[in-house]
Every structure is written in structure tokens, then in C-alpha cells.
Amino acid sequence: MKDTGSREIMMEILQYQFMRNAIVAAVLVSIACGVVGSYVVTKRIVSISGGISHAAFGGVGLGYLMGVSPVTTAIPFTVGAAISMGAVTRKTGISEDTAIGILWSAGMALGIVFINLSPGYAPDLFSYLFGNILMVTPIDLWTMLILDLIIISSAVLFEREFLALCFDEEYAEVLGVPVDTFYLYLLALVALSVVVLIKAAGIILVIALLTIPAAIAKNFSMNMKDIMVKATLTGVLTALAGLWISYEFNLSSGAIIVLLLTALFGITQIFGYLKEKNTLKRMQNH
């Protein structure tokens, strides 16, 4: 009886176009999380990724000011902010924390000013801040798909360079990898991922989706490809579960997805701790 009820709910959900769009978006978002998030967690650039995600609000505000889709303006604006942030930390004496704080604040401030200057009321602004995967349009899906293809092709074409960059920059330089260039390229990919995620999770929650799936996957593997696959699958499963829960209880989908990921991360950490404890115990007994 319970299985029949679940099937009926699923059939009911799939009757709606906005839910079908949300499911496709969940898969596309998870791909970006899986690929770029693995680099972010391994390279330990979570803080700078957070700065990039908040700077993206300036691009959203610019879209409202120009009267075009905020996603359209967010792409070049966020990529520009990411490269600027990376260049400032690499080429000047300004500390990374300071650069992140300045560009984070400036991006948010610009977004507010642009929205204030734009005529009329800014529709859907709340969804860009906190996300609403149920409001994803077919145009958004095409944009997500194109950005995902760019991210995947970059990871495939420059696999060796990104691996060397993430695990050992000095070794990367020995191999002849232009480290600074690929570091900025990686930040540009983070920026594209932020744009992919922005409608699903919002600027406030983007960093969680970009880091938690990869952090979970890293508990089970140290192979980058393996981490990417596991992180993507984790993202898909939690996103679909979050959609179902948000539909059932009329809750914010982005927030539910993040809470599910957080709970799953906590569970994997506990199991990892217990497993390590049991291993040490067996070693001591022998």
C-alpha cells in the first residue's frame, strides 16, 4: 500500500511541467557540483568560491537594470569577478581573505545599487537570493546544459593540469603547467557553476551545494574521477529527495536539499569515525 501511494505521488508530481523542469535542473546542477565541487574541496578554495557566489549578485542586479535575464548578465559579471579575485590574490600583496571580503561586499553592494536604479519592482529577486528550483524555465535549462558542457569539456581537456594544480602546485610548475593561468581558469569554472546553481539554490545556499557533495564523496575515495562521479550521484539523489519533500510539505526546495546534504555529511562522518575506531581497536588487539 505504501509503495502504491509513493508511485501515485510520483505520477502526480510528473504531471506538472514545472516539476519535470525541476528534476532536469536537479541533474544538471548536480553535474556542476560534482565536477567543479571536487576541485573546490580538493584545492581548498571554499572561501574564495563563497566570495564568487556572493559577487554574482552584482550580475543579477545588472540584469534587472538592463531589463534582460539576470542569468545572462550574471555569466560575464561572475566570471570577471572570479578572475579579478584570483588575480588580486596572486599578483598583489593583498591577502586572500582581504580580497575575498572586498569583492564579496562590492558585488553585493553593486547588485543592490543596480536594483535600486532599475525601474519598477524586481520580480523573482527572492529566488536569486535563496533559490527556487521550481521556477526554472526551459531557457534556464538550456543555459545550465551549455554551462555544464563547458565545465565537463574543460575537466576532460585539462585533466592533467587541474589534477597537478589541485594536489601540488610546485609539482605542476615542474611539469610546465602555467599554474596562475589554470588557477584563474579554475575560478572561472567555479563562476560558471555558481550561475548554474543560482536559480536552484540561490546565492545564499550555492556554496553548500558546491562543497558538501564533494566533501561526502571524498570520504570514500581519493581518486578525482571517482570523487566527481560519487559527488554527482549524491547531488542527484539528495536533490530529487529534496524536491519530493518540498512538494509534500510545501517547503523551500533549496533549503531542504542543503539540509539533506548536511545530514548525509554528518552521517558519513560518524560512520567514518566509527570505522576508524574499530580498525584501531582490531590493530591493538592483534
pLDDT digits (tens, 9 = 90+) for 239-256: 999 988 888 888 888 889
Residue 8: pLDDT over 80: no
What mean pLDDT comes out for the span 172-197?
A: 92
Classified as helix, coil or strand, 273 is helix
Residue 157: pLDDT over 80: yes
What mean pLDDT comes out for the span 99-104?
A: 86
> Each residue of 26-52: pLDDT tens digit?
999 999 999 999 999 999 999 888 899
Indicate if the alpha-carbon torsion angle 180, 185, 190, 194 is positive or negative: positive
Contact 179, 172 (CB under 8 A): yes
What mean pLDDT comes out for the span 172-201?
A: 90
Residue 226: CB atoms within 10 A of its CB come to: 14
Residue 10 grid coordinates: 510520483
Residue 200: pLDDT over 90: no
Residue 193: pLDDT over 80: yes
**pLDDT attached to residue 172:** 86
The mean pLDDT of the chain is 88
Residue 166: pLDDT over 60: yes
Is 3.40.630.10 the CATH classification of the domain at 2-285?
Answer: no
**pLDDT attached to residue 100:** 86
Give the CA count within 13 Å in the CB-facing half-sphere of 227: 22
Quickly state the pLDDT bin for 7 (edges 50, 70, 90): low
Give the start-to-end residue ranges of the domains of the chain: 2-285
Task: Enter the pTM of the model.
Answer: 0.89
Contact 199, 140 (CB under 8 A): yes
Better-predicted residue by pLDDT, 13 or 272: 272
User: Between the CA of residue 190 and those of 72, 110, 164, 286, what are the distances in Å?
Assistant: 16, 20, 18, 47
Distance (Å, whole) CA 152 – CA 62: 28
